[in-house]
């Protein structure tokens, strides 16, 4: 199982774990389908009142889509549409309005932002770092940027998206800019997220879910409009897949700037 679910019936909290630690929890097509099923399943599970989302292993929350697996997805020729397997991996995309807290340790980058962008808030271990590699490898950061622009000041998301792999945002800097609500010692994010989720789950369910829905109504119109532009921006701006592959093959291990 590459997506695991642990339920605590005492607290009403479920923990969803991306469980491919050896691949930095990169998302396969099967994982993308499984995540959708998990979120939709929670809609009918009244025993689950709050959810924590995390990644296994501690080295990464998630590093986006597994490119070795994603090449199996044929793309339409129209510049106005794209078959993106990550579009429905988040809770809101599956019409789930129960609160989701993301517990982030290690790297969170690229396609991870589809998930982080649909959480209510983020808690990060001190060693967490956030970055967006798209431009470095000849790809448009569209869906990812839209998700994170809802959480970060414009200049911060612009810098991260445009600088590609050269820019790594530390947990502390993410806290200062509002992306992260709490920073814990490394390895402590999951416990902190569980604690917060348990407190939320103890509140009356209708009030909690109504509050979640109200919060998201503030940003829905702008978000929907921006996401509607994303498919043709990606299609028009991306390098051909073979050229992207060359850039990935030649990538180094340098980490560039790490803003603290």
Domain borders along the chain are: 1-68+82-187+203-260
Residue 8 in 3-state DSSP? Answer: strand
CA–CA dist 193, 247 (Å, integer): 37
- Given a cut of 80, is residue 2 above it in pLDDT? yes
Q: Give the pLDDT band of residue 240 (cuts 50, 70, 90).
A: confident
Half-sphere exposure of 257 (CA within 13 A, CB side): 11
CA–CA dist 235, 226 (Å, integer): 15
Q: Give the pLDDT band of residue 107 (cuts 50, 70, 90).
A: very high
Structure tokens at 11: 């607290």
* Neighbouring-strand partners of residue 258: 168
- Given a cut of 80, is residue 154 above it in pLDDT? yes
* Greater model confidence, 174 or 218: 174
* Greater model confidence, 241 or 183: 183
Q: What is the pTM of this model?
A: 0.87
- Contact (CB, 8 A) for 105 and 206: no
pLDDT of residue 198: 98
Give the closest residue to 157 by CA, choosing from 169, 165, 166: 169
In our burial notation (b when 16+ CB lie closer than 10 A, e otherwise), range 221-245 reads eebeebeeebbbbbbeebeeeeebe
Backbone angles phi, psi at 154, to 5 degrees: -55, -50
pLDDT of residue 243: 78
pLDDT of residue 224: 73
Q: Give the pLDDT band of residue 22 (cuts 50, 70, 90).
A: very high
Q: Give the pLDDT band of residue 1 (cuts 50, 70, 90).
A: confident
Average pLDDT score, the chain: 89
* Greater model confidence, 238 or 135: 135
pLDDT of residue 256: 58
Backbone angles phi, psi at 104, to 5 degrees: -110, 125
Q: How far apart are the first and last CA of the chain?
A: 35
- Tens digits of per-residue pLDDT, 177-235? 999 999 999 999 999 999 999 999 999 999 999 999 999 987 776 777 777 777 667 77
How does strand 100-104 pair with strand 121-125?
Answer: parallel
CATH of domain 1-68+82-187+203-260: 3.90.226.10
Average pLDDT over residues 137-150: 90
Residue 243 in 3-state DSSP? Answer: helix
pLDDT of residue 241: 73
- Given a cut of 90, is residue 70 above it in pLDDT? no
pLDDT of residue 79: 62
- Contact (CB, 8 A) for 22 and 55: no
* Neighbouring-strand partners of residue 183: 124
* Neighbouring-strand partners of residue 65: 27
């Amino acid at each position: 199982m590459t997506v695991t679910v642990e339920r605590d019936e005492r607290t009403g909290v479920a923990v969803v774990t991306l469980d491919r630690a050896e691949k930095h929890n990169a998302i396969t097509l099967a994982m993308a389908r499984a995540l959708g099923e998990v979120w939709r399943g929670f809609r009918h599970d009244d025993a689950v009142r709050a959810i924590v989302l995390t990644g296994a292993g501690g080295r990464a929350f998630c590093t986006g889509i597994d490119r070795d697996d994603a090449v199996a997805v044929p793309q339409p020729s129209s510049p106005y549409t794209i078959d993106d397997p990550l579009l429905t991996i988040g809770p809101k995309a599956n019409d789930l309005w129960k609160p989701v807290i993301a517990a982030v340790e290690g790297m969170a980058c690229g396609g991870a932002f589809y998930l982080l962008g649909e959480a209510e808030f983020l808690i990060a271990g001190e060693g967490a770092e956030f970055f967006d590699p798209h431009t470095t490898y000849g790809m448009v950061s569209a869906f990812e940027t839209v998700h994170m622009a809802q959480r970060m000041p414009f200049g911060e998301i612009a810098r991260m998206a445009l600088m590609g792999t050269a820019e790594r945002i530390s947990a502390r800097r993410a806290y200062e800019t509002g992306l992260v609500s709490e920073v814990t010692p490394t390895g402590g994010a999951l416990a902190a997220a569980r604690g917060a989720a348990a407190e939320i789950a103890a509140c009356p369910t209708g009030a909690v879910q109504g509050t979640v829905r109200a919060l998201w109504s503030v940003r829905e119109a702008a978000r929907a409009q921006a996401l509607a532009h994303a498919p043709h921006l990606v299609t028009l701006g991306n390098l051909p897949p073979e050229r992207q592959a060359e850039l990935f093959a030649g990538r180094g291990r340098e980490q560039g700037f790490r803003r603290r």
